Amino acid sequence: MHITFLAYRLQHSRIMTTEFYRQDIEILRALGHEVTIATRLREVPRKTDLVFLWWWSWLWLVGPILKMRGLPICVTGSLEPDIYEKEPWYHRLLVRWGMRFSDRNVFVSKYMISKLSAMMRLVKPLYCPHIVMDEYKLANPKNSREFPELIFNVAWKNTPNMKRKMLPELIDAFAIVLREIPNAKLALAGEPMDGQAVLQRRAKDLGIFEAIDFMGKISKELKIQYMQKCGAYFQCSHHEGFGLAIAEAMACGAPVIVNRKTAIPEVVGEWGYYVENESPEAIAKSLIHALRDPEHAREVGKSAAARIDSEFRFDRRKNFFKELFHEMTQSGLLPSNLKTKRDANSSKAPLPQAVGRATSL
């Protein structure tokens, strides 16, 4: 089957360097399908059998045109209710109107489906979470932490995202941590954008600038190393559609410091340090708890990694989409005579059966 992976109006250079896009492209190819990556409608080939669209934001625009071409549309990604409800009325109207053009909608958290269902009519909402790739794993079976007094975070630092990820509160909390643990360090990775200067000024005002490493954009390999070695990974957030970086850190055995908001508890379960509230004092308390008892933190991290291995690995999402495409074929949305490249070019045994049915909520 020929699938067009469409991330409308996104820069091509962003696609394979953004984890959740790359994951789904690899899943589609692992299922044996031919995949074209497109960011504009003119890049959707005539031979396309299915459009795999990321984001609902532009469905109102691309949906009618794709339907005029007779193409089925499967949409996935994050439509965060907390962002959606703050958008202008006309934007919300366009998103709701665009929903009519999707044949299947795959959301990455149950929280998202539950809250959006109260705001709009969802067409065939399905649940399948993000997954964590296999390179995110424990550095060693004991989950030894090479830098037990290091706090790590990865986030884009444009101002809205920096505030959403509560990085100003983290800077203030870290000043409190240093009073109790003078050797503690904070490493902040991610594209600096316009928000990093704000954080740097605050750190200088508090007299803690020298204890913070503003790393900027780093490679995936270095990110994994820091997640495997840090004493704690911080990602409290005002809202998350899923929380992929949290899951990645958990897979690497990092004790995660989080809050109980939106989809975060779906990812973390019992295996994290939840802050009592979102004040710098409460954040500092959880950070100190993790750093002062590294043995307990190490065990929490091991259990967190086991949770990711059990719930959020590659085969779960791959098997979900294998079964979903089969269901779409059975319902007549996809031609029944289509074969994957693997079917056409190989006599190997067929792919394993899906482990569970596509979950509809």
- C-alpha closest to that of 128 among 270, 330, 311: 311
Looking at residue 349, what is its pLDDT?
A: 32
In angstroms, rounded to a whole number, what is the distance separating the alpha carbons of residues 300 and 321? 32
- Strands 212-216 and 230-234, by their bridges, are unpaired
| Structural domains of the chain sorted by starting position, each given as residue range(s) with its CATH number in brackets | 2-131+313-360 (3.40.50.2000), 147-311 (3.40.50.2000)
Which residues lie across from 52 on neighbouring strands?
A: 5, 74
Task: Extract the tokens encoding 360.
Answer: 């509809």
Residue 217 has pLDDT above 50, yes or no: yes
pLDDT at site 341: 53
Q: Up-side HSE of residue 218: CA atoms within 13 Å toward CB?
A: 20
Characterize the bridge pairing of strands 73-77 and 104-107.
parallel
Q: Could you tell me whether strands 230-234 and 256-258 are parallel, antiparallel, or unpaired per DSSP bridges? A: parallel
Q: What pLDDT, in 10s, does the model give residues 218-253?
A: 999 999 999 999 999 999 999 999 999 999 999 999
Q: What are 359's strand-pairing partners?
A: 127
Q: What six digits make up the tokens of 40? A: 């504009």
201 vs 351, more confident = 201
Q: What is the mean pLDDT of residues 144-158?
A: 96
State yes or no: pLDDT of 339 exceeds 80. no
What share of the chain has pLDDT > 90, as a percent? Answer: 90
Q: What is the pTM of this model?
A: 0.90
pLDDT above 60 for 358: no
Once rounded to an integer, what is the mean pLDDT over residues 191-202? Answer: 96
